[in-house]
Amino acid sequence: MGADGTHADTARAKPRIATVSLAGCFGCHMSFLDIDERLFELVELVTFDRSPLTDLKHCGDCDIGLVEGGLCNAENVHVLREFRARCKVLVAVGACAINGGLPAQRNALDVGRILLDVYDHGRPGLAAGSAVPNDPELPLPLAKVHPIHEVVHVDHFLPGCPPSADAIWACITALLAGRAPTLGHGLIHYD
């Protein structure tokens, strides 16, 4: 026991990890959860901040931040900037964070026109008087979907759609060991 009454092994704080999901399908978070029983090993090594394991909505100061999803609205941009400010190391996880992924397929279209086409009150199946939602609680859509590196500095990129659980595990454990992740053949898939 230390002089301050704490156990020597708990005196040194564990690294903190946080995750956030922006415009995407949450598939990268599912791959993160697919590290299965290795989550128990990870819990011994780190403290989880905002993540699917904690359900915290706001991020504290963290050593490693994992971001999945691109930027499709003003709220995504706000959340990403706050998240980046809290994380020493930021990892773009998956195709949506790295290049906009599938949500960026709308980039060739006019968002205003799409909204009018979808919510036009004359469209079959919609209630009379329907209109484009205009509630101040709804985030303003961006004209284009953007990858996160266009808005904040990204330290590492973990490609895939989604990256495998093994790739995520290799990335996290390398960062925790103070090494840059190097993921070769077998861990990176483009299929």
Q: pLDDT digit string (tens) for 17-70?
A: 999 999 999 999 999 999 999 999 999 999 999 887 887 778 899 999 999 999
Q: Which domain holds residue 94?
A: 15-107+143-176
**Considering the entire predicted model, what is its pTM?**
0.87
Whether 162 maps to a domain, the answer reads: yes
For residue 83, being part of any structural domain is answered with: yes
Print burial letters for 167-176: b (CB count within 10 Å at least 16), e (below 16): bbbbbbeebb
- In a domain, residue 149? The reply is yes
Mean of the pLDDT values across residues 140-163?
Answer: 96
What is the average pLDDT score of the chain? 89
First to last CA, the chain: 52
What's the whole-number mean pLDDT along residues 96-107?
A: 95
Q: What is the CATH number of the domain that holds 76?
A: 3.40.50.700
pLDDT computed for residue 105 by the predictor: 94
Cα–Cα dist 141/19, whole Å: 22
pLDDT band, residue 190 (cuts 50/70/90): low
Is residue 186 in some structural domain?
Answer: no
Residues contacting residue 63 through CB under 8 Å, at least 6 positions apart? 15, 16, 17, 46, 87, 88, 89
What is the reported pLDDT for 25?
Answer: 92
Residue 117 falls within a domain, yes or no? no
User: What is the C-alpha to C-alpha distance for residues 142 and 76, in angstroms, rounded to an integer?
Assistant: 10
Looking at the structure of the chain, the number of domains it has is: 1
Counting Cβ atoms within 10 Å, is residue 4 exposed (0-12), middle (13-18) or buried (19+)? exposed
Residues 29 and 107: their CA atoms lie apart, in Å, by 24
CA distance 128 to 184: 56
Nearest to 74 by CA among 117, 111, 29: 111
Strand partners, 141: 73
Assess if residue 134 is contained within a domain. Answer: no
The verdict on residue 22 lying in a domain is: yes
